[in-house]
Chain A
Amino acid sequence: MSTRGTRFRTTLAALAATALGLSLSVRGAEDGLLTGTIKTASGSPIEGVAVSAQIPGNPITTSVFTGADGRYFFPAMPAGSYTVWAQAVGLERAEAKTDVGSRVSRLDFTMKETSDIIPQLSGYQVMAALPEDTVAHRRGKVLFQKNCTYCHETATVLRDRFDQPGWEAIVLAMTNGFSRNPKPLTPAQKELATYLTEMRGPGPSPMKPTVFRPRGEATLPVTYEYDVEFDQGGFSAHSGSDWRFGQASSAGGGGAIHDTTLDWDGNFWFTANRASSNRTIGRVDGKTGKTTNFGVPIGEGRVAQSHGILLGPDGRVYFNSSPKIAYLDGDLGIIDTKTQKIETIRPPDGMTLVSGWLGYDAKGRIWASSGPTKTPGGALRFDPKTKTFTQFKSPTARMTYGIAGDADGNGWWTGVDDDIMVYTDANDQVHEIKMPPQPPAEYVKAVDFGEGEEIPQPGIGGKQSPRRPFADLDGTAVWVPNFYGNTLLRIDTKTKELKYYPVPYPAMNPYEAAVDSKHHVWVTFQNSDEMGRFDPQTGNWTMYSWPTKGMAQRQNHMLERDGVLQFASASGVAHRVGRMIIRTERDVQALRDRVK
């Protein structure tokens, strides 16, 4: 969780309007517009093509999508010589160079179809292509989902084809921690390798991939993505921006980013969840892309780690600062984004410490997960005015995960291992709601597994695994994304009524919610490069794409102000932070008018 969907009203409306709106308008004489049309070889316009532009060597990549007429419209961009590339599922990448300056630059592309689209797909889209027609296929799919896709985006695993010995070597490495002296494969592991060989091996595959591209409203956003410098210098050699190479990878580079938030000047603040000598959190300048490290020393040349981060109602950035495990037993860190000075505040003796998930309530108080992981956990509430903590203990729920504050000032947190939602009332009493189980993934049938045969990972039998909730601060709903259950749970804060909504596809692994002023629910998915907007009134989902392969987005930081809705996200694998601005039809029409 960490950062919260944020609708700042009176208090923050007074802050100077800065980075939010400027990307939607022409900023000055030094900026220019870039537009063009993308068609097939036969001349048909293509909708939903991601068009990206970057000045070589500059860490900022700007991307837009083509509309139904095949046209794309970048917002005003700084003048310079850009590399521009176009990518879409089912099509070969196209690339060109162009100068952007005072005139309107036009760049058209013709794109050809490609055959193997699996490496271009997002995680759940690959899962959707795996057949469910036989017992062997359903067993294999479940073994694959439960063993591989809780850590890896599916598309990463199935990017390449390998023969049976190759898949066995991979399963051997993964199940033995990359040991050079691994234990032999178990029958289930062997079955998994055989299944993977059938799906992505030398022979014909029964997979039936579908072309997914953004359509309609989902083509409106503009994204700004920033390659983040490693704490020891340098950038990832593959950030996922070039789809020919598949999902992102920062292996061997030493990078670690967990969550990010934007401040009101348009700069990113992100957490570093790995031991480091210089980075507890980092800052990425929204204008230049420059990365700056900030460390909380813990002795012996080391600095604390961090996990959750959010922009508080007071405009300061809050995070956990943990000396040992990135998400456990730390202090509350606060950074003034103007002076860039950090203070860390430790809960008093006798209280449990700050864990790695943060939220805030409508009264401006910060909520933090807290407590042990194997026995009932709890939460802390921090009052920024008095700098005091209040501790809450969960009656039974272990391992507090995501946490949120609601419109009445109450806290809501998840017992991730026990499918329990914990909440406080007006008298600061703590209560629990046991989440009812749901039917397992629809492709699993009772006959698929023998009696006593266990699937080696959880997520079957209706377990939900609630992750990072969000409370509508202008309503009575708490929304809970459920990672294993692939559901979105609505809890009414007044009546405690529960209602599950399925996510649009199986195996998306929903993670964190945010709610906008229209009460739409925005959900991130770990097994995806997309973010979903759910309309509770219609039950419809709209999927918005990041143009990076390997986003595996968990946290969800929403900012809404002056009618502009935007989201910030971090990807540890891609070693990127980015923001997606949800443009309106009117925004894009204004650009159409300008380039006429």
Chain B
Amino acid sequence: MLRISMVLALGYALGCMVSAQSSSLSPAEKTGRRIFQTRCAMCHVGQEPATEMATPASERRPATMGPLLSKANTANEMTLRQKIRDGSRLMPGYKHALTDTQLDQVIAFMKTIEKPLTRIAMARAGE
């Protein structure tokens, strides 16, 4: 039995889903975005369902362990800085992993996030 289905290409780009526009960021903010991507995003940005074992019914989780972050979380910068450095029972402290300059860069990037971040991506590659 053959079941043939012809499918058209669905190629399109959803620029509106990109949360962090690249072009407007300073070099420090871009560096902060990379640090955020590698140290923060797994717990503080919405996640897709796990690959492979997920079914089509699996929904995107709004976040994993931590709250979705935005510039609102930088209102009390000293408290934020202390939280990143010391962590908590559920979050590792980064005081041995990130320098003060890198902390500044992460916070600088967080200040560019207008709304709680549900997706992180660059608008253009290579920035």
Contacts of A83 in B (CB 8 A): 126
Contacts of A161 in B (CB 8 A): 96-97
Contact B93 A166, beta carbon cutoff 8 Å: yes
A230 at the interface (CB under 8 A from B): yes
How many Å from the CB of B103 to the closest CB on chain A? 13
Contacts of A61 in B (CB 8 A): 126
1/0 per position for A238-269, CB-CB distance to B under 8 A?
11001001110101111010100000000000
Q: Which listed residue, B12, B33, B43, touches A178 by the CB 8 Å rule?
A: B43
A275 at the interface (CB under 8 A from B): yes
A182 at the interface (CB under 8 A from B): yes
One of A20-28, A97-105, A337-345 contacting the partner? A337-345
CA A343 – CA B1 in complex, angstroms?
A: 14
B115 at the interface (CB under 8 A from A): no
Q: Which of A235, A297, A307 has the most CB of B within 10 A?
A: A235
Tell me the A128-183 residues at the B interface (CB within 8 Å). 159-163, 165-167, 169-170, 172-173, 178-180, 182
CA A229 – CA B15 in complex, angstroms?
A: 10
Tell me the A282-314 residues at the B interface (CB within 8 Å). 289, 291-298, 300, 302-303, 305, 307
B5 at the interface (CB under 8 A from A): yes
A452 at the interface (CB under 8 A from B): no
Contacts of B47 in A (CB 8 A): 251-252
1/0 per position for B35-66, CB-CB distance to A under 8 A?
11111011111111101111111101000110
Query: How many CB-defined contacts (below 8 Å) exist between A and B?
Result: 223
B119 at the interface (CB under 8 A from A): yes
Contact A253 B119, beta carbon cutoff 8 Å: yes
Chain B: interface residue total (CB-CB under 8 A): 68
Contacts of B122 in A (CB 8 A): 234-237
Q: A162-B92, A245-B35, A275-B49 are in contact. Are A234 and B7 (CB under 8 A)?
A: no
A279 at the interface (CB under 8 A from B): yes
Q: Which listed residue, B18, B35, B51, B126, touches A56 by the CB 8 Å rule?
A: B126
Contacts of B39 in A (CB 8 A): 160
1/0 per position for A21-51, CB-CB distance to B under 8 A?
0000000000000000000000000000000
A384 at the interface (CB under 8 A from B): no
Contact A294 B9, beta carbon cutoff 8 Å: yes
CA A346 – CA B3 in complex, angstroms?
A: 6
One of A321-329, A438-446, A472-480 contacting the partner? A321-329
CA A56 – CA B23 in complex, angstroms?
A: 11
Contact A165 B87, beta carbon cutoff 8 Å: yes
Contact A232 B17, beta carbon cutoff 8 Å: yes
Contact A169 B88, beta carbon cutoff 8 Å: yes
Tell me the B54-111 residues at the A interface (CB within 8 Å). 54-58, 60, 64-65, 87-98
Contact A238 B37, beta carbon cutoff 8 Å: yes
CA A355 – CA B43 in complex, angstroms?
A: 32
- Other A-B pairs, 20, CB within 8 Å; known A235-B124, A249-B38, A251-B45: A57-B127, A165-B87, A166-B87, A169-B89, A170-B92, A173-B90, A233-B17, A235-B125, A237-B122, A246-B38, A254-B119, A254-B121, A280-B7, A293-B12, A294-B7, A307-B52, A325-B53, A326-B52, A344-B4, A346-B1
Instruction: Report B's interface with A, CB cutoff 8 A.
Output: 1-7, 9-20, 33-39, 41-49, 51-58, 60, 64-65, 87-98, 117, 119-127
Can you list 7 pairs linking A and B with CB atoms under 8 Å apart? Answer: A56-B126, A233-B13, A237-B37, A245-B38, A251-B47, A273-B52, A344-B7
